[in-house]
Amino acid sequence: MRLRALFLSLLLLSGCSREFIEKLYDVDYSTTNRFANNLAPLPGQFTQDTAALDRLMNSFNGQVKRYWGDNDSLVASKRQYVKYTDGYRSRAHVDFERGVVIVETVAKTEPTKHLKEAITTTLLTPDNPGGVDLYSDSAIELSGKPFLYGQVLDNEGKPIEWSWRANRFADYLIDGKMKKRSERFHQVYYVEIPMVADHANQRGYKYASIVRDASRRYGIAEDLIYAIIKTESSFNPYAVSHANAYGLMQVVPKTAGADVFKLVKNKPGIPTPEYLFDPARNIDTGTAYFYILRTRYLKDVRDPLSLHYSMISAYNGGTGGVLNTFHSSDRKRAMNDLNSLQPNQVYWALTNKHRNAEARRYLEKVTAFQKEFNQGKI
Q: What are the boundaries of each domain within the chain?
A: 73-196, 200-375
Protein fold of 200-375:
Lysozyme (1.10.530)
3-class DSSP state for residue 299?
coil
- Check if the beta carbon of residue 46 is closer than 8 Å to that of residue 63: no
Query: What's the predicted TM-score (pTM) here?
Result: 0.79
- The CA angle 89-133-282, to the nearest 5 degrees, is 145
- What would the mean pLDDT of 50-76 be, rounded to a whole number? 82
Return the pLDDT at 52: 61
For the chain, what's the residue count? 378
Question: Cα(253)–Cα(260) distance, rounded to whole angstroms?
Answer: 9
**pLDDT tens, residue by residue, 81-105:** 999 999 999 999 999 999 999 999 9
Helix axes of 279-292 and 222-233: crossing angle, nearest 10 degrees: 120
Question: Cα(356)–Cα(81) distance, rounded to whole angstroms?
Answer: 27
204 vs 148, which has greater pLDDT? Answer: 148
Question: Cα(233)–Cα(247) distance, rounded to whole angstroms?
Answer: 7
**pLDDT tens, residue by residue, 315-342:** 999 999 999 999 988 999 999 999 999 9
Nearest to 323 by CA among 343, 294, 353, 303: 353
**pLDDT tens, residue by residue, 6-49:** 333 333 233 333 332 233 222 222 222 222 222 233 334 334 44
Identify the active-site residue in 104, 232, 274, 364: 232
- The dihedral built from the CA positions of residue 129, 155, 101 and 205, taken in this order, carries a sign that is negative
Q: Mark whether 358 is an active-site residue.
A: no
Return the pLDDT at 51: 59
- Check if the beta carbon of residue 363 is closer than 8 Å to that of residue 312: yes
- Check if the beta carbon of residue 354 is closer than 8 Å to that of residue 348: no
